[in-house]
Structure 1
Amino acid sequence: MTPYTDLAREKGILTWDALKSYIAALPYGRTSNPKDALSVLQDGRGTCSGKHAYLACYALENAIPHVRLMVSLFKMSAESTPKIADVLTHFHLDYIPEAHCYLLENNVPGDYTRPGKFFNDFEKRILETHELDPEKAAEQKTALHKAYMKKWLSEMFLPYSFEEIWRIREACIASL
């Protein structure tokens, strides 16, 4: 079975490079089923985790070598992401840890989240990086992100519970 390849072919996408371009051009947005990477092409949109999980699954199906799905936790600040400035200011935060997925292809980062989105936009603010299983990307990314946020909260002595800081993070994402 090759569901990722079959779905791409149904859309008229026949090459790896064409698929990467197609995925990057899809609108940014959560899919109807974030745990199923197939929903990216089915819904015609995706987040960084869904888009890159789809690409990584396609690469596995087609034995495209040296493609790895990665997630980095980084400092998302008003400087790096101006649209979240009001939220951070309101909660007296300089930054909030955010998780971002991308591919490493032959050890070169490739970010297909949206056109013009590049790994080097956040590379200097990375806190830690992990490899993900493409079939479990959504769950693994969320678990790593939440674990990091809990550790960060305890180290920073912030006046927020985990639930509150996660809601603040969601408000930042909504402002994008």
Structure 2
Amino acid sequence: MEKSFNLSGRQPLTKVCLDRGLTDFKSVFNYVKQLPYGRTTNRSDYRQVLKELKGTCSTKHALLKAIAIENGIDDIQLYLGVFEMNARNTPKIKTVLKEYKLDYIPEAHCYLKLNGEILDITFNNDYTPSFENTLIYEVAIEPEQIGDYKVDFHKSFLKTWIKNENLRISFNQLWKIREACILAISQ
């Protein structure tokens, strides 16, 4: 991230950041990026990232978008995308996909865009799945949409995908496979 914005004001999230010595958006971005990947106790509440010091694609990026909103930064957008999660762009799921004889599974993923450039800080290490080349769909969302909205959207997308691909698998089975993939990624 090249461009940065100074944080100001006493909004709740901004105050927590300033109290931790994070004075501009770039420092907050780097701080959140280095936090480990993991679900928080409430996957809909992006504020938990600052309390539990971990997060997923949804919570980490929604937190950053919320801080941008608090500081009047309009250049940064939060996106919900669906991409073909496969063994090439997400090597840790290779065994799961092979076991169920799937080439890929459509996965919902949250990320930021700044001036059209995708910013993805889901993982704090060299392991960053490259999803851009297999992006099927994307839509701008608000931080509050990372909970039920995202899950419902993803489930609806998967149900349509099963039907369109004429797969001989139930939605419940596919969701279990997806959860096994997420578990593999987090290890």
> TM-score, with normalisation over the residues of structure 1?
0.93
Partner of 2:17: 8
What is the identity, as a one-letter code, of the residue corresponding to 1:157? N
CA contact (8 A) 1:110 1:118 kept: no
What is the identity, as a one-letter code, of the residue corresponding to 2:158? M
Q: Which has the higher helix share?
A: 1
Aligned-pair CA distance for 1:117: 5.9
The count of aligned residue pairs is 175
CA contact (8 A) 1:132 1:141 kept: no
Higher alpha-carbon deviation: 41-50 or 156-165: 156-165
Q: What is the SS of the residue equivalent to 1:64?
A: coil
1:132 aligned to 122, 134, 141, which one?
Answer: 141
Deviation digits for residues 81-133 of structure 1 (CA, Å, limit 9, x no counterpart): 121111111111110011111111122211121244668x1111011111111
Q: Would you say 1:79 and 2:93 are equivalent positions?
A: no
Partner of 2:184: 175
Partner of 2:109: 100
- The Cα RMSD (Å) is 1.5
1:88 aligned to 86, 93, 97, which one?
Answer: 97
What is the identity, as a one-letter code, of the residue corresponding to 1:29? G
Q: Percent identity?
A: 39
Partner of 1:114: 123
Partner of 2:7: none
Q: Equivalents in 1 of 2:78, 2:26: separation in Å?
A: 17
CA contact (8 A) 1:132 1:140 kept: no
What is the identity, as a one-letter code, of the residue corresponding to 1:33? N
CA contact (8 A) 1:28 1:45 kept: yes
Deviation digits for residues 12-39 of structure 1 (CA, Å, limit 9, x no counterpart): 2111000000010000000111111110
Q: Equivalents in 1 of 2:168, 2:27: separation in Å?
A: 47
Q: Equivalents in 1 of 2:65, 2:91: separation in Å?
A: 30
Partner of 1:31: 40
> TM-score, with normalisation over the residues of structure 2?
0.88
Gaps of 5+ in 1: none
Residues 147 and 110 of structure 1: CA distance in aligned 2, closer, same or farther (over 3 Å): same
